[in-house]
Structure 1
């Protein structure tokens, strides 16, 4: 599964399939569930962020209950499915980090009714002593 996700991320980056018509969004609230967690990670993230021209900038309380800032590029694939690739701060305890910054690679699915929607995410390996996670965050388009 990890190899498939890495392949998808590389293909997306190399093919340049960022959708120019991607809606700008304000993100509010964030929740996650960590699979087979060996600890008790924070799963209520209280995020606040903006997505502008396919770039996300978000502030949230991460799985270690530490403040984090994430910057990521969104690539829309098809039917609301996409990939988010970037980096996030505040992960000094994560297995793979450089000065507390970790890479972000997340498969996403967004659905909306009018200007209001939800973005669901899947990360096969989160580095937080778990076998991956699913997440959800509400957004408003502008």
Structure 2
């Protein structure tokens, strides 16, 4: 079979329809995995309820997914928001921990962190209040 007969046998509308079917197939699997993840993440469901929803979603996927979305769609959204908030809080805590909460008690700087002092020095240098040499000396003094 040559390529010209292949192009005639499969017109552009069929290509569009095939791409639409592929997109909907991928969308379906995404929704199915999202629901299965939500079933296991849900703390208000017991073990038997989780097993029941999982069996329903796997054995009768269309009915199971639609029933789950109707019955538990709102709580699914709330769990997503809670998860996002927990992730953001953990990320902020990690950033605070990585940046350091300041020098140890009794250290130079009166409880302020070196990062704050360096930021103030850089700001003074940008405004022209101190020269490059003064900035470098103060920076070296802070870092030693």
Please state which band the TM-score falls in when normalised by the shorter chain. under 0.3
TM-score (norm 1): 0.18
Which protein has the larger Cα radius of gyration, Structure 1 or Structure 2?
Answer: 2
Higher strand fraction: Structure 1 or Structure 2?
1
Higher helix fraction: Structure 1 or Structure 2?
2
TM-score (norm 2): 0.18
- Where relative contact order (Cα < 8 A, 6+ residues apart) is larger, the structure is 1
